[in-house]
Homo-oligomer: A and B are copies of this chain.
Amino acid sequence: MTQPAIVAALEPLFHPRSVAVIGATNNFAKWGYSTFASIMNSYPGDLYPVNRHDREILGYPAFPRVTDIPGPVDLVVIVVPPENVSGIMRDCVDKGVKAGVIITAGFAEVGAEGKAMQDEVMRIARSGGIRLVGPNCMGMWSAAANLPAFMFPMSIMEGPLALISQGGNIGGALVADAFARGVGFQQYVSCGCTADIQIEDYIEYLGYDDSVEVILAYIEGLAESNRFVEKVRAVTSKKPVVVMKPGKTGAAARAISSHSGAMSGSDRIYDAAFRKAGVIRAENTTQLLDVSIGFLTQPLPKGRNVVITTPGGSYGVICAEACALRDLNVIDLPASAMETFSSMFPSRWSHGNPVDPAGDRNFVQYLRAPEILLQLPEVHAVIFMGFGSFSGLSSTFASGLAGPRMQMIGERMKGVEELARNAVGVIESRDPAAIGQIVRAALKTVFGSIMVSDASDLEAFVDLLSESLTTERMLQSAFYEDLKALFTFISEGTPENIDIEDVFQLIESIIGALLTGWIQKYGKPVITTTFTEVLVRLSEEGHFPYSSVERAATVLAKLTEYGEYLERIEARGDKQPGGAGATQGDRFGGHLR
């Protein structure tokens, strides 16, 4: 198979063997300083500062012009005043440069004079076949090249996402937030005024990069929406594209025009174009990341029927509302499930969906509920509420914090010292079977002592948990290092030194592993929510709990929307082989780290 044209065209941008920074400087108060600093810290290829006056920049030999650089230059990053750019571009053509990132602002977005300068730069670049990012952008990141070519150093990590942003600040905030959540990018391009490479060109390119699983975009305006639809539609049959596009109001349209110089256009027309292209639309940056992480960690639901499990009635209320407002069906429970839950929960349980055991102290039963639901063919997805520190499980432990702080937990843990002594050695052995036995014994001791449950319930539940905890992924995760540390404390008879937060963390890891196991087993989404707005990271088990019911319901609705789109195009025979449906099973491979 020959290389698609777009891949050939953008390869020098994302895999440059050498980079020159034009306008690099030792002056701390200029962007040329922080741009060079951003790149020099991690880019492993040949790096050249270009400065008209200084012969050394931050320890690197500098050159007056790009044509003075001895070796070849694949990519230039330009941080000089706008009036100097066309001259520099002429040098770049002479030098045989292949791609450029123009950070400089003050072109088309400021008016006719700027537009004329921009046209001249473009004319020169085209004459030499140089492809350009920007102008008026914040730079770009390529994980393959380990190249953070930004205006200033940013927190960004490698991962399965890719982002194209027509706003550098929004793009920067997105990658920083993703970093805080523990998820990263193959590529991020702050595409600025898109004088040359258009947003749909980047997306087309990313469609061919198998290491990219979800494509995100922030769009202020498109030059040709038909071209966008045509190119992006070919990508959305293979992987999801999630887009944020402001401009519903005149105030935003005016701000867009002065910012990126784009024509914002009618929101209705954009919405229709996005629908046609199979693009999933997000309303804000949080949604953009939420939905993307949903695509990474969850399968697509086969329909709109959802059941909610909640350890608290009011949370069930607002979650049902959030689902219904997003056209998800909060279905009536089938009679069989009603009977099962009535035999499990106290008589005061909610007797319906949301499933609420109404303060049942037997948390084992609560944790069994999702699997009972996932087995029902009419249930397409489960929202499992109360993950995180305000969940029932954690509160059980928290009650031990009051009064004689930690004493209660400490005493219970002392009962398992013998077990703990063996456990440390077994975990070190990395023998799955032996670890499985220890995990079973530990779970029985812990859950048996803190929870009300009959013996056979507990047995079945421990089977389930230990299965989830001895998968290849879990055995390799930090979970077992943390567990070992806990067992070491207990075996030394010093459980009073255990930090309760570490115990919570282990419990969350256990529940996270359980949920991930169900997702794989039943192929249905299990979306979790915390009871707190404090941000939680994507776990090593590939689990991300959302901090509100609106966020959880939005993610489920958007996953459903994309599933329905894929079904539609499949029915029409539009779908390309090897599309998202085919790779669904691989979503939990190990891309996340």
Using Cβ atoms and an 8 Å threshold, which residues of chain B touch A316? Answer: 255, 259
Which B residues lie within 8 Å of A531 (CB)? 169, 172-173, 176
A220 adjacent to chain B (CB < 8 Å): yes
Q: Specify which of B38, B180, B250, B452 is in contact with A29 (CB 8 Å cutoff).
A: B452
Q: Are A550 and B284 in contact (CB under 8 A)?
A: yes
Chain B nearest CB, measured from A357 CB (Å): 11
Q: Which residues from chain B contact A314 at a C-beta distance below 8 Å? A: 165-171, 218, 220, 259-260
Question: Does any Cβ of B come within 8 Å of A58's Cβ?
Answer: yes
Whether B28 lies near A399 (C-beta < 8 A) is yes
- Contact status B170-A312, CB under 8 Å: yes
Interface: A395 (CB within 8 A)? yes
Interface check A40, CB cutoff 8 A: yes
Number of copies of chain A assembled together: 2
Cβ of A434 under 8 Å from chain B: no
Task: For A114, give the chain B residue with the smallest CB separation.
Answer: B348
Interface size class on chain A is: 35 or more
A218 to B321, CA, bound (A): 14
The residues of B that contact A93 with a CB separation of less than 8 Å are none
**Which residue of chain B is the closest to A354 with respect to CB atoms?**
B255
9-residue interface stretch from A208-216, A322-330, A375-383, A462-470: A322-330
Report yes or no: A286 in contact with B172, Cβ–Cβ below 8 A. Answer: no
Encode contact with B along A348-391: 1 for CB under 8 Å, 0 otherwise.
Answer: 10111010101101000000000000000000000000100110
Partner pick for A351 among B170, B176, B258, CB 8 A cutoff: B258
Among A234-242, A401-409, A511-519, the one that faces the other chain is A401-409
| Minimum distance in angstroms from A528 CB to a CB of chain B | 15
Instruction: Tell me if A37 and B318 are in contact (CB < 8 A).
Output: no
Interface with B: A65-73, A532-540, A579-587, which one?
Answer: A532-540
With A153-B399, A258-B356, A259-B350 known as contacts, the answer to whether A170 contacts B286 (CB < 8 A) is no
A129 to chain B, nearest CB (A): 29
CB–CB A348/B533 < 8 A: no
Q: Out of B29, B152, B324, which one reaches A252, CB within 8 Å?
A: B324
Establish whether residues A250 and B324, one from each chain, have CB atoms under 8 Å apart when the complex forms: yes
A155 to chain B, nearest CB (A): 9
**Contacting pair B347 A110 (CB below 8 A):** yes
CA distance A296 to B181 in the complex (A): 30
A403: chain B residues at CB < 8 Å are 37, 40-41, 58-59
The residue in A168, A259, A260, A358 that gathers the most chain B C-beta atoms within 10 A of its C-beta is A259
**B533 and A286 form a contact (CB under 8 A):** yes
A30 to B450, CA, bound (A): 10
Q: What is the minimal beta-carbon distance from A160 to any residue of chain B, in angstroms?
A: 20
Report the separation of the CA atoms of residues A351 and B28 in the bound assembly, to the nearest whole angstrom.
27
By the criterion CB–CB under 8 Å, are A172 and B390 in contact?
A: yes
The answer for the CA separation of A390 and B138 in the assembled complex, in Å, is: 13
**What B residues does A286 contact at CB under 8 A?**
533, 548
Q: Are A31 and B359 in contact (CB under 8 A)?
A: yes
- Knowing A167-B315, A313-B167, A321-B251 touch, does A399 contact B533 (C-beta < 8 A)? no
**Can you show 11 pairs from A to B with CB atoms below 8 A apart?**
A28-B399, A29-B361, A37-B402, A105-B348, A168-B312, A168-B313, A170-B312, A284-B318, A284-B548, A284-B549, A284-B550
Residues of chain A whose beta carbon lies under 8 Å from any beta carbon of chain B = 28-31, 33-34, 37-38, 40-41, 58-59, 105-106, 109-110, 151-153, 165-173, 176-177, 180, 218, 220, 246-252, 254-256, 258-260, 284-286, 310-318, 320-321, 323-325, 330, 346-348, 350-352, 354, 356, 358-359, 361, 386, 389-390, 395-396, 398-404, 408, 450-452, 531-535, 548-550
